[in-house]
Amino acid sequence: MGAASALQQGLARAASATVKRRSFLLRAGLTAGAAGMARHLPFNVMEPAQAADPKAAAPGVTEVKHTICSHCSVGCSVEAVVSNGVWIRQEPAFDSPLNMGAHCAKGASVREHGHGEHRLRYPMKLVAGKYQRISWEQAINEIGDKLLLLRKESGPDSMIMIGGSKHSNEQSYLMRKFASMWGTNNCDHQARICHSTTVAGVAQTFGYGAMTNSFNDLHFSKAVLFIGSNPAEAHPISMLHFLHAKELGAKMIVIDPRFTRTARFAHHYVRVRPGTDIALVWGILWHVFENGWEDKAFIERRTYGMDDVRKEVAKWTPDKVSDVTGVPEASVRQTAEMLATNKPSSVVWCMGITQHHVGTANVRALAILQLALGNIGMAGGGANIYRGHDNVQGATDVGPNPDSLPGYYGLAEGAWKYFATAWGVDYEWLKGRFSSKELMEKPGMVVSRWFDGVLEKNQYIDQPVNLRAVLYWGHAPNSQTRLPDMKAAMKLLDLLVVIDPYPTMTAAMHGRQDGVYLLPATTQFESSGSVTASNRSIQWRERVIKPLFECKTDQEIMYLFAKKFGFASELCKNIAVVHNEPVIEDILREINRTCWSIGYSGCSPERLKLHMNNKHTFNPTTLLAESGPCKGDYYGLPWPCWGTPEMKHPGTPILYDLSKSVARGGLPFRANWGVEHNGVSLLAADDSFPKESELDAGYPEFDHVFLKKLGWWSELSVAEQAQAEGKNWKTDLSGGIIRVVVGHGCAPYGNARARCNVWNFPDPVPVHREPLMSSRRDLVARYPTYDDKANFWRLPTLYKSVQAIDFAKDYPLIMTSGRLVEYEGGGDETRSNPWLAELQQNMFCEINPQDAQQVGAVTGHYIHVETPTGARLKVMAMVTARVPVGLVWMPYHFGGWWMGDDQLDNYPEGAAPLVRGEAVNTGWTYGYDAVTMMQETKVSLCRLVRA
């Protein structure tokens, strides 16, 4: 069925059979687990309470805009019906290969987000403790003057920009460029606190920091392990694809401390003690090696360092694994057997794996498990990492990362020179924007610890000044831990700015009388741009409605500040600006011209729009277009999409897949760590190469020298040769090296082995380390954490000195956190949405019946959760056997209360979320990943006190 016909049917049905609000709520509530939801669809044609009367719109006036749900990384398409500029209703895009006509409750109500009654409407300034309306001109001038003064007094590193992962690729890219031209690497976004450990872990193992396969590709899986992942709530429509595989016979294993809504579908459920994932994965691998279930040929041809893993795994005998993890020996063996004898098998993980002080090591253990089983680079296998926000993958790829320029180019002098050339600015000018060359090349402060950049004594931080100003630009504070420390830091700042469609909890928690500004940004539906789903498919959002109220798009706000700071012409040198708004298509074209490293080069605006308009031509299993104008492409040109748009590369649906030619989406592992280590070759074995490759052995990445040696240099045009001379495949702005190399069937980045031993990490082979807040004090001496670090991402960072304190004496329960289907992230958008707010109105904690009995906790009654930070959270008790004895679970989307007190009066009038509650992170404790500074939110300690 084509897009038009599906929509016409939808519109016709809309006139006669809209689903009333009550029905929506009932159905969403009844089917809150995604799978059920998928079966009951479609129920997504709804009639918002305050919508214009659709029947009043004359035929022909109604338009349909194609956009993408903004609430998770599955990338569900939304068809927004707009009449005379008013968004009157929405359809779920029946022809999208990603969601196939299904939406979860959040996706089915995005119109309410776009038209939200609780959004910021105009700029505001805090005066004597109250927010007052001001003009945009006053806001830009006052904030701009203050920042320029701080810059003069303390340098550009006195400010941090905390960006979002819900910005489009173009907005994210422009934000990194903006921070660079301001002169700081103090910029970050949500990926730091959701999947930075995934990106670091899999990039250092395989080559790229991304999900290897797709949601759809699960159709081919014979077994799937969900570990630290609860897609029935966090990624509901992805379950549509997995349940299809299950209907075809795929086995399902769920490993989680809590019996989740996903776990109820499992053939085999494994309840694990939080913080022991490496011990468990090595326990599974122990059985794999013991039974000879590993893929020996794959290991021999395509991996490096597996023998080092074998030595560590040999220590994890079944009895030891059971003692440390709490999992019965037979259950571990059953998991190993199910994965090894039902191949291809896939592993899916989320924040249950990543948000630990050993998060990067956790990720690597799972990546190694899949390498040992030979499950990488094939349909139905893979390391399938479900990311959080709608564009967290894209914002990571090209956005405001403190340790990298767009496309993961790093911060070395060569990277800056490359981007100075690409941006058309003088390198010396760019360098002069920073306090020093040293700071220009040093990773900046991170969002998880910006407040330590304010509170820490200056002599202990690795930049000349403490932070004095914070721009929260599309990011809520309640998603970060240690909120009492954050509140103390907010009070000390010279300037605190929120740029967001909603005031967020920042507006209510700072405890200040002045020095706070709130600037209303538009939602994703009031701007166009591209967004990268978790599977690397890039989709184009059309602008659904013009900016509401006095809201401005993020790109316009950046441009206005750049004008104030005097670098607007440099920011937009190759980007047209219309009415102060940089043209989104031009920004994407600049991304295309610069981000060769990850293949964001072939995905032009024109190609992406063509895909969106021809969704129905893509196969919902393979994502391949089988007919029509996109024939031969994979949906959304999943990156890498090599070369220029004119090269028409189809995208890469499965990473590291040798069964296809590189020109058709195949790839080997990346040669990113040299050609040998300790005398051992890192290049792939002689018989390991992608289909149709003219080189039948491993090889390093391509540069001008290698091309000349092979005799391929003459295939570049004279103009390409002029640009490619002295360059490699990533820095050749002509794209000629990539074009020629792919033409010979080779991967521009080389053909290497995946690394099981990452010698540049704190743990080259992952080892189990007890959580900082461990309740198993007997295990701390045997499995200690890291030594404290004096200088890590510009800050001192504690490990052993925290673990040394026995908090378990006073806080005997393990505390962990997770996601609900109704809400997302810090929750401001979704808790302000009346359709969703009605589904889940109270912050709560799950308590096992035995623990509840100890303190007299009763479902529906308040209880206090006290933690080692000194926090006392007032939440509603839910007594349930979903959690085991000794474990307390809380959702992380709530905010707006502060230790029992509703902060309603602190919000700007009319802009408080409908549902407010205690933020779990007010109680969350210290702990950071040893590679990326990811915060620990999955294992801490608490006690319960009757309210």
Binding region for ligand SF4 (CB under 6 A): 69, 71-72, 74-76, 99, 103-104, 106-107, 235-237
Spell out the residues 6+ positions from residue 564 whose beta carbon is closer than 8 angstroms to its own. 140, 141, 144, 148
Report in angstroms how near the CB of residue 103 gets to ligand SF4 at its nearest. 4
For residue 610, give the H/E element and its range.
Answer: helix 605-613
Phi/psi at 751 (5° precision): -135, 105
Q: Which residue is nearest to ligand SF4 (CB)?
A: 107
CB nearer to ligand SF4: give 72 or 765. 72
CB nearer to ligand SF4: give 236 or 274. 236
CB nearer to ligand SF4: give 106 or 271. 106
Alpha-carbon separation of residue 452 from 492, 918, 936 (angstroms): 12, 23, 16
CB nearer to ligand SF4: give 235 or 776. 235
Rg (CA), the chain: 26
Q: How far apart are CA 487 and CA 229, in angstroms?
A: 31
Report in angstroms how near the CB of residue 539 gets to ligand SF4 at its nearest. 11
Report in angstroms how near the CB of residue 479 gets to ligand SF4 at its nearest. 17
- Say whether 928 sits in a helix, a strand or coil: strand
Residue corresponding to tokens 């005998």: 317
Report in angstroms how near the CB of residue 831 gets to ligand SF4 at its nearest. 15
Report in angstroms how near the CB of residue 107 gets to ligand SF4 at its nearest. 2
DSSP string, 187-216: EE-GGGGTTHHHHHHHHHHTSSSS-SS-TG
Report in angstroms how near the CB of residue 656 gets to ligand SF4 at its nearest. 26
Report in angstroms how near the CB of residue 237 gets to ligand SF4 at its nearest. 4
Report in angstroms how near the CB of residue 230 gets to ligand SF4 at its nearest. 13
Q: Is 105 in contact with 19 (CB distance < 8 Å)?
A: no
Strands 887-891 and 813-818: parallel
Cis preceding linkage at 42, omega within 30? yes
Q: How far apart are CA 235 and CA 38, in angstroms?
A: 12
Cis preceding linkage at 700, omega within 30? no
Report in angstroms how near the CB of residue 44 gets to ligand SF4 at its nearest. 9
CB nearer to ligand SF4: give 239 or 509. 239
What is the SS3 assignment for 701-725? CCEHHHHHHHCCHHHCCHHHHHHHC
DSSP state of 46: B
Q: Is 891 in contact with 843 (CB distance < 8 Å)?
A: yes
Alpha-carbon separation of residue 59 from 10, 55, 544, 828 (angstroms): 15, 9, 19, 36
Alpha-carbon separation of residue 428 from 159, 436, 566, 682 (angstroms): 22, 11, 17, 37
- Say whether 946 sits in a helix, a strand or coil: strand
Residue corresponding to tokens 């926000």: 389
DSSP state of 84: T
CB nearer to ligand SF4: give 164 or 927. 164
Report in angstroms how near the CB of residue 535 gets to ligand SF4 at its nearest. 12
CB nearer to ligand SF4: give 205 or 833. 833
Report in angstroms how near the CB of residue 875 gets to ligand SF4 at its nearest. 24
Report in angstroms how near the CB of residue 366 gets to ligand SF4 at its nearest. 23
Report in angstroms how near the CB of residue 533 gets to ligand SF4 at its nearest. 8
CB nearer to ligand SF4: give 829 or 929. 829
Q: Is 586 in contact with 576 (CB distance < 8 Å)?
A: yes
**Alpha-helix residue ranges (DSSP H) falling in 256-384:** 277-290, 296-302, 306-314, 318-325, 329-341, 351-354, 359-372
CB nearer to ligand SF4: give 74 or 683. 74
- Say whether 846 sits in a helix, a strand or coil: strand
CB nearer to ligand SF4: give 219 or 794. 219
CB nearer to ligand SF4: give 51 or 76. 76
Phi/psi at 255 (5° precision): -115, 120
CB nearer to ligand SF4: give 107 or 501. 107
Residue corresponding to tokens 């941006």: 423
CB nearer to ligand SF4: give 236 or 827. 236
